[in-house]
Amino acid sequence: MSRPILKLEGLSKAFGAVQVIDDVSFDVPQGTRMALIGPNGAGKTTIFNLMSGVYTPDEGRVIFDGEDITGLPSRKRIGRGLARSFQNIRLMPHLSVVENIMLGQQSRVSGPGAMIAPLGRRSRWRQEAEALLSEMNIDTYTGEVVATLPYGIRKKIEVVRALAAKPKMLMLDEPAAGLNPSETAALRDFLIQISETGTTILIVEHDMSLVRSLCDRAVVLNFGRLIYDGSTRDVQNDPQVLEAYLGSRHAEEAVHA
């Protein structure tokens, strides 16, 4: 197995009296496609927020590419190579596709003057954004206003905007939410194309057919605790996972079946 690009060591997080994440540890090997799954309320998005710097853990560490980034702000984590998308699309709907991609480059510039440089119409930043759209085979939409595009295309654009930061690892929060089966299949192929460039992918996802066809490995949370870390091939046969999703009686019936 390749070396870990990301290591979570004993992460815990509480909000008031509610323990949302409880002593969670796992590694994400470099260059892999991996899923973080679990029932609603299991703590998946909270883990993503701890990884990306939205929240600070009460205990534990986040190690990225050999560096302890536990106390690092979100923007600096992006600069280190850790990028993410969100469950709800956060594109700027009134801007064009290429302008949205250019916004993803902001983490790679420094200083107040440099912050507006990517928005220049003839800058190298725009040329790079157009090249990235071409590489990802969605350059048909370069000049289109985002609000006019189908939902499935906007999902892809959000992923490409994250790629504009040149991440080593890409975290995707429910990328298939709201997509129909054909759009989901297109997204899967798109993510495989991205991973073949060497980018590590970690997804939170409820669509198990997408998880099985995209990812080799899954970690499963339930009530903020890690209950499974192994292959996606075996995850649906694990007794603890079955109990988490189905309840103890139905899980026992499934195992016997």
Secondary structure of the chain in the HEC alphabet?
CCCEEEEEEEEEEEECCEEEEEEEEEEEECCCEEEEECCCCCCHHHHHHHHHCCCCCCEEEEEECCEECCCCCHHHHHHHCEEECCCCCCCCCCCEHHHHHHHCCHHHCCCHHHHCHHHCCCCHHHHHHHHHHHHCCCHHHCCCEHHHCCHHHHHHHHHHHHHCCCCCEEEEECCCCCCCHHHHHHHHHHHHHHHCCCCEEEEECCCHHHHHHHCCEEEEEECCEEEEEEECCCHHHCHHHHHHHHCHHHHHHHHHC
Q: How many residues does the chain have?
A: 257
* pLDDT given for residue 70 in this prediction: 96
Per-residue pLDDT reduced to its tens digit, 1-22: 579 999 999 999 999 999 999 9
In a domain, 66, yes or no: yes
Total structural domains within the chain? 1
Q: Which residue has the higher pLDDT, 62 or 108?
A: 62
- Whether residue 36 lies inside any domain: the answer is yes
pLDDT band at 153 (very low <50, low <70, confident <90, very high): confident
Task: Tell me whether residue 184 is in a domain.
Answer: yes
pTM of the full structure: 0.82
Tell me whether residue 157 is in a domain.
Answer: no
| CA nearest neighbour of 158 among 59, 90, 233 | 90
pLDDT band at 257 (very low <50, low <70, confident <90, very high): very low
45-102 confidence digits (pLDDT tens) = 999 999 999 999 999 999 999 999 999 998 889 889 998 876 556 788 888 898 888 8
User: CB-based contacts of 25: which residues, under 8 Å, 6+ apart?
Assistant: 7, 8, 9, 10, 11, 60, 226
Has residue 95 been placed in a domain?
Answer: no
Strands 225-231 and 217-222: antiparallel
Beta bridge partners of 33: 201
CATH number of the domain within which 24 lies = 3.40.50.300
144 belongs to a structural domain: no
Q: Under a CB-based contact definition with an 8 Å cutoff, are residues 171 and 202 in contact?
A: yes
**140 found inside a domain:** no
Residue with tokens 């853990």: 57
Is 235 a member of any domain?
Answer: yes
- In which domain, by residue range, is 40 found? 4-89+167-256
